[in-house]
Structure 1
Amino acid sequence: MTRPRFHLAFAVDDLPAARQFYGDLLGCREGRSSETWVDFDFFDHQIVAHLAPQECGSVNTGAVDGKQVPVRHFGLLLDWADWEALAGRLREAGQDFIIEPYVRFAGEAGEQGTFFVRDPAGNALEFKTFRDEAHVFAG
């Protein structure tokens, strides 16, 4: 059986900027595209950036572990070494973090490394990692 993958469509206000962020910075291979959308291979999942400037810019947040986390966001769970490497690559590229890489819920079930960034259209992305994958859904 093939491993399930997610498909996510989201709004951007500038396709060349989306191509630079997702393609050049994050290393996502580009798939099909048109003048109004582009598919990316987001770490083996399909995401589609649709040109819809009027839908960009939501900044609502909610409190999690003493930080203001963007309510609307998507992202990935990575292996710890891959998470650290991505955080390092983003720092080297001068990417601003909404929330800098840190360990959340330290010493508790669900302990995780996490960080948040925004793409050029303002979409929030979270990248996280767990020392113990059995704790991904720990309560």
Structure 2
Amino acid sequence: MDATTNIPPFHLAFPVHSIASAREFYGELLGCPEGRSAEDWVDFNFYGHQIVAHLAPEEVGHVKTSAVDGDAVPVRHFGVVLSMKQWSEMAGKLTAAHTKFIIEPHIRFKGEVGEQATMFFLDPSGNALELKAFANMAALFAK
């Protein structure tokens, strides 16, 4: 399936230490509309994909990193590929909200096939997120 057309939504469940903090971070800061919920979980519309925060404080956080283009990238992370405009707007919004970035917004693989804008940050439970963008979306899987 072409990465730029009609992608079926993925589903991702992940642990959080607090449902209230997840609602504030994903719902309010990132602007993800809330879907169904119960006392110990809540789902969000993450750019058309279903992510579900499950109350599991004993499983939160990330530990390992991997070197990628000079950055220590959290091995366990998730995110979304945005348009450059959306990425720039979100970088501005997160910076204005004093988000502590693991990897500051920047361009990775400059001048290479996989050149991309990227940023990494943690949610309140220590889950790592990456938001990225390509000037040319067709380069998403290019070698």
Q: Same fold (TM over 0.5)?
A: yes
Q: 2:100 matched to which residue of 1?
A: 96
**CA offsets per residue over residues 31-63 of structure 1, 9 Å max, x none?**
111110001111111000000001112221000
Q: What is the letter of the counterpart of residue 25 of structure 1?
A: L
3-state SS of paired residue (1:76): strand
SS at match of 1:113: strand
Q: Calculate the TM-score normalised by the size of structure 2.
A: 0.94
Residue equivalent to 2:70: 66
Deviating runs (4+, > 2 A) in structure 1? Answer: none
Query: Are residue 6 (structure 1) and residue 10 (structure 2) matched?
Result: yes
Q: Which amino acid aligns with 2:16?
A: V
- Identical counterparts, % of pairs: 59
Alignment of 1:77-88 (within 5 A): 77-88=81-92
User: Residue in 2 aligned with 1:114?
Assistant: 118
Deviation of 1:12 after TM superposition, in Å, equals 0.3
- For structure 1, the 5+ residue unaligned runs are none
Q: Which runs of 5+ in 2 are unaligned?
A: 1-5
Aligned counterparts of 2:137 and 2:7: Cα–Cα separation in 1:
17
Q: Distance in 1 between matches of 2:103 and 2:19?
A: 25
Q: Give me the whole-angstrom Cα distance separating, in 2, the residues matched to 1:30 and 1:56.
A: 21
| Paired amino acid for 2:53 | A
Q: Does 1:42 align with 2:59?
A: no
Aligned-residue CA RMSD (Å): 0.9
TM-score, length basis structure 1: 0.97
1:132 aligns with 2:131: no
**Given the superposition, is the C-alpha separation of residues 60 and 114 from structure 1 closer, same or farther in structure 2, using an over 3 Å criterion?**
same
